[in-house]
Structure 1
Amino acid sequence: MEDIVDSLLVRVEGCEPDANQTSFKKLMAKMVNVFKKGKARHEISTAVEEIHKQLQDVTTRHKMFDFANLPAAKRTTTDPFWEVFYGDKKNIIGLEKARDDIIEKISDGDRVSKAHLKILSVVGFGGLGKTTLAREVYDALPTKFDYKAFVSVSRNPDMKKVLSNLLFKLDNRRHARLNAANLDVEQLINLVRELLSKKRYFIIIDDLWDKEAWRTIRYALQDHECGSIIITTTRQVEVSKECCSSKEDMIHQMKHLSDDDSQKLFYGRIFSSEVCRSGFEDVSAKILKKCAGVPLAIISLASYLANNQKNNQIDQWYVLLNSIGRGLEKGDDHVKEMKRILSLSFYALPSHLKTCFLYLSIFPEDHQLSRVRLIRRWICEGFIQVKDKTDSLLELGDSYFNKLVNRNMIMPINIHADGRVEACCVHDIMLDLIFELASGENFVTVLDVIKGSAPLEKKFRRLSLQKSMTDLTNAQMATTSMSQVRSFTSFSPAVSKIPPLTIFQLLRVLDLEGCDLRKSPGVDLRHVLGAVSKPPQA
């Protein structure tokens, strides 16, 4: 429907009636001019007929289900549980012993051995809490250092961006003064080496996926026998061995939560107590068994039940239990079942929150997304639905955001005393899930994942450029239809691949935040800036 209406409006705007007519008369005159053309009239008539048929099908399906009404624009605050789990006074269930063991390992030794660079790698599959554990050690280690930094790498890293981010975390003034964004990988390595020379540092390299990325980072982190420490986290055993090639280096294998800790995490989220409600012991034990001690799975299902209005009805718990499937295995074959568990939380969302959540697939892995930026994007896309003219789009968007936090769909970053969250990110496994869903529905297209040999035949609606896309050829970009793209987002590594904006006929949302357009001479924003209006209720 949007395709037809937007295409019609573009054709209408192409006509030029008398400038002295009123706005309404102008539009009507333009419409008449279009409908006078036989071919256009036939195309529009056929399209409207097809829309009518599809609407009848939708109406029939709608009557089969009890769809909830859209919520009123009342403010939903974040759950106090998240302040405990993510806030300054964290109480991370089941990780205290592992945290203390790691601190003891990296602090142990005589005066000579303490002077050597120590590397410890935390390894385990997604959802076990590697990043959370590393962050706990990072915050709790009592030793003083000249420099500290916590940097994420991700599955398909842009090493220039990773090293630039490392330099920024170590010394943001130097990063700004040297304009690090314009430096290449070798220059950034040399800058980091120079900065850390004869200094004691503690650096965490989070979410490593391949050996080559580690080798590049390792060039920048030299051992000056000052007692420095590096901690890496990875899902790959081979990568952890590469990180810990010296006999003094250590590997920490993540363990599943014990039954006792699993229960504390599960009951604390649902009942705000570590004690199970009477009558629910058997079903909760069976649900926890299928989670196999994986924190991400436990907290996902607990959040599902905590936000379900029927969470006090035991039959609803059994419905959930029977929908999980065989449960997670303590081995390599875990990803598919983990996604099944997470998908339960997704499908339990109201339709308007599903749309807002799928929209997050536009943003790259490990991207810290500002709450305000995300809400404004939702508003521009038309995802925030108001029922009353007095409703505030920003307040309702804030309510949507907090509901996703409360349901554990997004992870809050920087929680203030009043419960306000500054930013969020999405767990890698959850991002994989929504990427599959959004891509399958042609809701969001991330061009990074399209190989050079693959044809680009879809009519894209929302387009995201995240990396430099070496596999994507210029010829493919040139022959790809952008006629139906409504939303276009590019991130700085892909700036050279941004196509001319003139090819976007129906573009509504343009986000080039952080992009240096001097590296993309084909992008001219003069006409865009001339057409920009004020954001809704901004």
Structure 2
Amino acid sequence: MEAATGALSPALRKLGELLAGEYNLEKRVKKGVQSLRTELEMVHAVLREVGKMPLNQLQEPVQIWAGKVRDLSCDMEDAVDDFLVRVGEGSGSKPTDMRSRINKFLKKTTKLFGKGKALHQICDAIKEVQDLAKELVELRKKYELDMFSSTNGATIDPRVLALQKDVGELVGLDRTRDELIKTLICENGSSKEHLKTISIVGVGGLGKTTLTKVVFETIKVQFDCAAFVPVGQNPDIRKFFKDLLYGLDKEKFKDIHNTTRDEKLLMEEISEFLLDKRYLVVIDDIWEEEIWRCINCALCKNKLNSRVITTTRNMSVSEACLSSSDDMIHQMKPLSDEDSQILFNRRIFQSKEKCPEDLQVVSRDILKKCGGVPLAIITIASLLVSNQKIKQKDEWVHVCNSMGRGLTQGGIVKDMKRILSLSYYDLPSHLKPCLLYLSIFPEDSEIERDWLIWRWLAEGFIQCDKEESKCDKEKSRLFEIGESYFNELMNRSLIQPAKTNDEGVVVTCHIHDMVLDLICSLSNEEKFVSMLDNVQWHAPNLQKKFRRLSLHNINAKVQNHQFDSTSLAKVRTFAVFSPVTCDWLPSLSSFQFLRVLDLGNCGSRESSSGISLKYVGNFIHLRYLGLEDADVCKLPMDIGKLQLLQTLDVRDTSIKELPASVIQLRNLICLCVNSEVRLPKGMGNLTSLEVLEQVGLSSSPHIVKELRHLTEVRSRTLSVDCDNMDEDLIDVLIESLGNLHKLQNLRIVYCGRLIDRMCESWVPPPNLRSFVSRGSSYSPSWFSRLPKWINSSLLPHLSRLEIDELQGDDIQIIGMLPALRFLRLRASRVMGTLVVRADAFPSARCCIFRGFPTGPCLFPPGAMPRVQHLVFKVSAPSIASGEVDCGLGHLPSLEHVQVCLERENSSDEETETAKAWLRRAGEAHPKRPTIEIKHNYWQLSC
């Protein structure tokens, strides 16, 4: 019933706004609103208690009542929201005293709220809520309902110990990992071997994907090309083939997702590409034999020792993957009692240390119920920690009792769902809708953190502890709260990290299939999100009313169905994750209360006109407009009417310019465009902007002077063509950048003369965390000398630095930056001798040195103690002769090394000697890092 609770929260806030003094409501209306709010507060208190219980534990009359409250609350919020927005719309857009404008407007429209539709709707809501309150009392009396007879466990503090950092560790699977690696790379004494397939099978939650990823990452460097591609329960086979091609060669197939090739052509392209290559392909989570047979037809059966790994929950699918006597099945087994305890202890105590004596018995009981399933152990462990402190014994006992019988042999999937639901019902009320919202994404999606938070913000899920009026003035504060929501869900193992950047920040996440199954089920029961795909598409679905609608994998056979316009009238989020044809999309005119419109990756690009956004200007409630990679060529001229719009993303579209009315979007926080897109004059009016990405100053030179007004910007990417900028304009740009005191991330590309002028006159903001300058062969981007502002005192928080050119002493200065985690240095020549101190780069995780010969010998013992990824260039003769020591032992944290081996003026023997030496250095290292040797920088993945 969390959807009912969640629906009431914003409704209460909106009623509070109506009671604010500046609206001067009639006494009769104000009294009714106050009465309504009082009733709803009582209902809300009841629903919060109901929401702590699993739906199947509630008696049916209570479920019916709560469902009515949910629907009524949403309708009432729509009515109040519509009134508030239209008041703002009628008051004009020029910046004057807001209170005066509202009062003036209301005086002119005295009867708008007294006799209009809004009053009628809210008066109806008042009567309905009063009736519902009476109905609740009668239900409890009639059926003797006791809604609070059982609870779901202790309330968990929302700030728990971060438990995700050991996700990659294979507790109890290290021997299995080593055996699989040995089997996969074994040559069997033959120089040529047929394609070999290993299929890993087991129920969800046993760690199939985790094991496979570790094996894949360990051995992929030994193959000509490699790809890891998920399939899932309802796959889009065309998208799968495109993902496979892109994974095999990201450069060659960088535009593959924009093509319209059918399955047959894609299969032929895959087979042709793999014909002369030794490849490694992982196909994760196959559900049907037919899908495997289709994929298998595309894989070239060459004799180059290629390997395929599949994972599945179905034994019959696993058996279908075998085509020769060399192929094998590995069946996943639950963890042993000992390994279960190790994983459990790591999740709670961050070590292998034993559980405290007073908790040992209950911990064994909990682990017994987890049945050796890692996902169950991880999620249950997250319930036993609060504020980085271990909970009391009685709370452990409570969690144990809530697990029922635990996992049984015959019903692991059902039991696992029940155990996962404990974590859901133990969430604070503000996190439940945020988690349910994830059901809008297709399975195996890699979800970008920031864009998820922007969506939560648009939906109103992010709540501020301060008064609403003050909170609205601190949009960045809301985003920070959203970041804490994201972190809390991750700490509870309900979402998992997919990619972490070099600064240590999780930038994308994914959802375990079993967690996704749970939240999709809950979301459907509570009518929170409606998801339609080829399997679920049928006539009754198209007639019901939706609140949030997501379309997945819709093929041509079902695109002839049309929505009833009334079913879309109340939709708040409409998202398409399928390349449907433009003429099939439901008419945007059907939407009345849309807050989130995401057409990213939508449109087959087969239509000459593309997606029409004609009616978008009417979406006065819209907060989020996502069009990245959509088949869109222009925005509506009246987009400025969207006074509540917070996020606008038009990257990778055919849009060439933004309409002039964009400058009226005073609440716009995030704007992402391509550098070629022309921006209108007056962009300095968008003073709420915090994120501004890929702005091309050559296409919009007037922006140079207007940047100084965007003082809230904290992240920006500039594309600068200084050949078209005079010296005075460059000075203005540097002055404008100096006015952005909240700037945290700055990326400048194709910056020519600008970058060297910044060396002298720019003063960076104190909180700068990332500085990146990139050039090209046509527009070089380097400092003639290291700027004086690059030092530890002026940039104490700088964690990412990418610059070109340096001299001998520069690396000493850079090495003393205390927070630096990612470093990329490029130089065509190095002046002087590079010398590094033993305490240099204390926080560095990734160091990339391009364009000049160097090696690990540059860094003495003690330097770079935490570096995990190292890229450098070295000549083969210098290693073969012993002139350069490429030993890695003094870099204790190394995990991956990429070497550009320069072969100029070297013999084949020297090259092979150098390769062998580098590989032995990797094998001798305690962590056995992977060693990747290339002969050109462009072959490296950095």
Q: TM-score, normalised by structure 2?
A: 0.52
| 1:14–1:292 CA distance, 2 compared to 1 (3 A) | closer
Report the 3-state secondary structure (helix = DSSP H, G, I; strand = E; otherwise coil) of the residue aligned with 1:112: coil
- Counterpart for residue 84 of structure 1: 166
1:187 is aligned to 2:268: no
The answer to whether the 8 Å contact 2:224/2:277 transfers is yes
1:406 pairs with 477, 486, 491, which one?
Answer: 491
Q: Distance in 2 between matches of 1:244 and 1:360?
A: 36
- Counterpart for residue 76 of structure 2: 4
- Which region of structure 1 is more displaced relative to structure 2, 202-211 or 108-117? 108-117
What are the residue-to-residue correspondences of 1:306-455 with 2, within 5 Å?
Answer: 306-307=385-386, 311-331=390-410, 333-388=411-466, 389=470, 392-416=477-501, 419-448=504-533, 450-455=536-541
Greater relative CO, 1 or 2 (CA 8 Å, sep 6+): 1
The structural deviation recorded for 1:359 is 0.6
Report the 3-state secondary structure (helix = DSSP H, G, I; strand = E; otherwise coil) of the residue aligned with 2:518: helix
Q: Distance in 1 between matches of 2:166 and 2:214?
A: 13
Q: Distance in 1 between matches of 2:545 and 2:365?
A: 45
The structural deviation recorded for 1:26 is 3.1
1:513 is aligned to 2:585: no
Q: Distance in 2 between matches of 1:408 and 1:67?
A: 18
| 1:70–1:470 CA distance, 2 compared to 1 (3 A) | farther
Q: Which amino acid aligns with 1:6?
A: D
The answer to whether the 8 Å contact 2:220/2:280 transfers is no
| 1:114–1:350 CA distance, 2 compared to 1 (3 A) | farther
- Counterpart for residue 316 of structure 2: 238
Larger radius of gyration: 2
- Counterpart for residue 370 of structure 2: 291
More strand per residue? 2
Report the 3-state secondary structure (helix = DSSP H, G, I; strand = E; otherwise coil) of the residue aligned with 1:252: strand
The structural deviation recorded for 1:437 is 0.7
The answer to whether the 8 Å contact 2:156/2:426 transfers is no
Unaligned runs of at least 5 residues, structure 2: 1-72, 94-99, 141-145, 617-634, 646-664, 670-687, 691-942
| 1:40–1:223 CA distance, 2 compared to 1 (3 A) | closer
Q: Distance in 2 between matches of 1:197 and 1:175?
A: 16
Report the 3-state secondary structure (helix = DSSP H, G, I; strand = E; otherwise coil) of the residue aligned with 1:430: helix
Q: Distance in 1 between matches of 2:409 and 2:347?
A: 24
1:525 pairs with 591, 609, 613, which one?
Answer: 613
- Counterpart for residue 47 of structure 1: 125
Q: Distance in 1 between matches of 2:388 and 2:460?
A: 27
1:198 is aligned to 2:284: no
Q: TM-score, normalised by structure 1?
A: 0.88
| 1:63–1:262 CA distance, 2 compared to 1 (3 A) | closer
The structural deviation recorded for 1:56 is 8.7
The structural deviation recorded for 1:325 is 1.3
- Counterpart for residue 488 of structure 1: 574
2:548 pairs with 456, 462, 469, which one?
Answer: 462
Q: Which amino acid aligns with 2:182?
A: E
| 1:131–1:522 CA distance, 2 compared to 1 (3 A) | same
Structure 1, residues 56-104: CA drift from partner, whole Å, max 9, x if none?
A: 9999999999998998xxxx7982x423324xxxx32111111111112
Structure 1, residues 381-427: CA drift from partner, whole Å, max 9, x if none?
A: 11111123457111111111111111101001223465421110000
What are the residue-to-residue correspondences of 1:8-47 with 2, within 5 Å?
Answer: 10=82, 22-27=101-106, 29-30=108-109, 32-33=111-112, 35-36=114-115, 44-47=122-125
The answer to whether the 8 Å contact 1:451/1:471 transfers is no
The structural deviation recorded for 1:364 is 0.5
2:306 pairs with 211, 228, 237, which one?
Answer: 228
The structural deviation recorded for 1:187 is 1.3
The answer to whether the 8 Å contact 1:118/1:248 transfers is yes
| 1:34–1:384 CA distance, 2 compared to 1 (3 A) | closer
Q: Distance in 1 between matches of 2:289 and 2:384?
A: 40
Q: Distance in 2 between matches of 1:262 and 1:62?
A: 36
Q: Number of aligned residue pairs: give it.
A: 527
| 1:248–1:18 CA distance, 2 compared to 1 (3 A) | closer
The answer to whether the 8 Å contact 2:566/2:590 transfers is no
| 1:310–1:107 CA distance, 2 compared to 1 (3 A) | closer
What are the residue-to-residue correspondences of 1:12-161 with 2, within 5 Å?
Answer: 22-27=101-106, 29-30=108-109, 32-33=111-112, 35-36=114-115, 44-52=122-130, 54=132, 79=162, 81-86=163-168, 91-112=169-190, 115-141=193-219, 144-161=222-239
Structure 1, residues 459-478: CA drift from partner, whole Å, max 9, x if none?
A: 21111111115675644524
Q: Distance in 2 between matches of 1:452 and 1:367?
A: 24
Unaligned runs of at least 5 residues, structure 1: none
Structure 1, residues 141-180: CA drift from partner, whole Å, max 9, x if none?
A: 2761110000000000000000001111111222235565
Q: Distance in 1 between matches of 2:84 and 2:340?
A: 61
Report the 3-state secondary structure (helix = DSSP H, G, I; strand = E; otherwise coil) of the residue aligned with 1:488: strand
RMSD: 3.4
The structural deviation recorded for 1:516 is 3.3
The structural deviation recorded for 1:479 is 5.6
- Counterpart for residue 357 of structure 2: 278
Q: Distance in 1 between matches of 2:110 and 2:564?
A: 32
